[in-house]
Amino acid sequence: MTERTCVPFFALLLFAACSSAPEPAFTQAQLFDPKTCQSCHVQHYSEWLSSRHAKASDDPVFLAMNRRGQRETGGALGPFCVNCHAPMAVRTGATSDGLNLATVDPALKGVTCFFCHSVDEVQGAHDDPLHLAEDGVMRGPFSDPIASTPHGAAYSALHDRDRIESATLCGACHDVVTSHGADIERTFAEWKGSAFSKAPAGTTCSQCHMDQSLALEPIANVQGAPKRRSHSHAFPAVDFDLEAPDAGGQLALIQQFLDSTVQSAICVRTPPGGAPKAEVILDNVASGHGFPSGSAQDRRFWVELHAYADGGELYASGNDGSSDAWLMRDCMFGVDGGQVSMFWDAASHSGNALPAQPTFDSADPRYYETHLAQTYPLGGGNLSAAPDRITVALHLQPIGRDVLDDLVASGDLDPSFAASAPELTVGEPLEWTPESATTTFVDPQTSAVVSCVTHTGLNVQAATVPAQAQCTP
């Protein structure tokens, strides 16, 4: 690839910025604005612009939640949401509660370049305990930053995807604890308890969510910029822009994650002289945290199963709202122990997400703790006849339709957003028939004949853990 030339943004300013000037050319106010970074970091800016970081304070669900939370708490919610969704607006005094974000300078909205790259210390574990340096130095993963840059530059282990401590920078906003003490988002804590946080085989947040290029090329349009491996700033996960769901190809990036995160299998268990049962096995093999994670109280991840015989349907597990669906999510409970739907009321939680792998060692007894199995029909019983075909699909709503409908009903969310929210599919749907079974064996404990289909390397004969019910205080 040929080296890009600097395209003027503020003509005189960038003449200095893209020259070999030895002194920083940008003021702190200019560095606050991501558009300033765009001038020399064109690709990074473009990727960031389509990310949830860029849209964090414009997201309609965030705005609706914050507006409702401020109203229902009488303003006591304060900066709780905007501390992470618009941190520079809070730190500069442009907002105290997020209710005026429509009039805040766009340069201060979202999770900006300046906010991340000026962090010099993590002073806690949750709710944005990040300390920002005031020296105009942008920190990054390179130990040999060039001197002739329009801003100061320095190496930081917090920004080095190959250093385990870099996860603390991400975790600072991706663990959230309410004023009542409920740890309603635990992505960082889940990662810390998993095999992914352990050297040498571990994986940091950035190694998963910031793809590294194979090719070497200049990462800045400045004279003398060396060729390096660049890191994507699209930050794909499971959330997307409700106003433009596929902005920047986000849905394709999200689907790449979902296609590899969970291994699945469908089995038919037929005991001697007994009626058959269907069994679904799921294993969270690639996510370095639980699945679903983050605001799991608002996410809806479930299994849809249909069993057929002689062309007719024997059984259907239903959708995410049915009583017979294996639905994975968090539930929140208030100070009185009753279930609540909004995080500002939460004092505790329970969840039945797929756990992250505690070890990569198959000889370790904990290895199969993530092998969750659910038998159908739920609640006991058997299929009314031997099936000749079973289909299984895994569905994910990053924000549940019921959550969106609740925000519409309270008058805080435009109904069009709830109506147009896409539903995602996790992995490849499965279809079992007696002929398509990839593994058939006899269970040594029950003598049942077990016939299974999986499209992945899932070991269907290994130990499993019964799936947990949702919403158990």
Element (H, E) at 406: helix 401-409
pTM over 0.75: yes
User: What are the Cα distances from residue 34, in Å, to 20, 28, 115, 169, 368?
Assistant: 21, 12, 10, 19, 45
Q: For residue 2, what are its two tokens?
A: 């040929």
Tokens read off for 256? 């790449």
Q: Helices in 39-186 by DSSP H: which ranges?
A: 42-49, 60-72, 82-85, 87-91, 113-117, 166-174
Separation CA 109–CA 162 (nearest Å): 29
Q: Which residue has the tokens 């993530």?
A: 370
Nearest Cα residue to 398 out of 370, 425, 430, 429: 425
Distance CA 286, CA 277 (A): 29
Strands (E), 319-473: 326-328, 330-333, 339-340, 348-351, 371-376, 389-397, 424-425, 430-432, 439-442, 449-454, 465-466
Residue 9, classed as helix, strand or coil, is coil
3-class SS string, 24-45: CCCCHHHHHCHHHHHCCCHHHH
332: Cα within 13 Å, side-chain hemisphere: 23
Q: For residue 293, which of 130, 124, 209, 175 has the smallest C-alpha distance? A: 175
- SS3 assignment, position 212: strand
User: 308-341: string of b/e by CB count within 10 Å (b at 16+)?
Assistant: bbeeeebbbbbebeeeebbbbbbbbbbeeeeebe
Question: Residue 326 to residues 185, 354, 466: CA-CA distances in angstroms?
Answer: 21, 12, 12
Per-residue pLDDT at 379: 79
Token pair recorded at residue 233: 């700033």
3-state secondary structure of 447: coil
User: At residue 424, what are phi and psi to the nearest 5 degrees?
Assistant: -100, 155
The residue extents of the domains of the chain are: 11-54+111-231, 247-466
The dihedrals phi and psi of 302, each to the nearest 5 degrees, come to -150, 165
Q: Using CA atoms, how far apart are residues 306 and 322, in angstroms rounded to an integer?
A: 14
In 3-state terms the chain splits into helix, strand, coil percentages (rounded to 5) of: 25, 25, 50
Measured in residues, the chain has a length of 473
Instruction: Please tell me what DSSP assigns to residue 291.
Output: B
Rounded distance between C-alpha atoms, residue 298 and residue 287, angstroms:
19
Angle value at C-alpha 226, between 223 and 227, nearest 5 degrees = 125
Token digits of residue 55: 């849209």
pLDDT in tens, the chain (473 residues): 333 333 333 333 333 344 443 455 789 899 999 999 998 999 999 999 999 999 999 999 999 999 999 999 999 999 999 999 999 999 999 999 999 999 999 999 999 999 999 999 999 999 999 999 999 999 999 999 987 678 999 999 999 999 999 999 999 999 999 999 999 999 999 999 999 999 888 899 999 999 999 999 999 988 889 999 999 999 999 998 888 888 889 899 999 999 999 999 999 999 998 899 999 999 999 999 999 999 999 999 999 999 999 999 999 997 766 678 899 999 999 999 999 999 999 999 999 999 999 999 999 989 999 999 999 998 788 899 999 999 999 999 999 999 999 999 999 999 999 988 889 999 999 999 999 999 999 999 999 999 999 999 899 999 999 999 888 76
Q: How far apart are the first and last CA of the chain?
A: 57
Residues 349, 367 contacting (CB under 8 angstroms) = no
* DSSP one-letter code for 354: B
How far apart (Å, rounded) are the C-alpha atoms in residues 282 and 174? 25
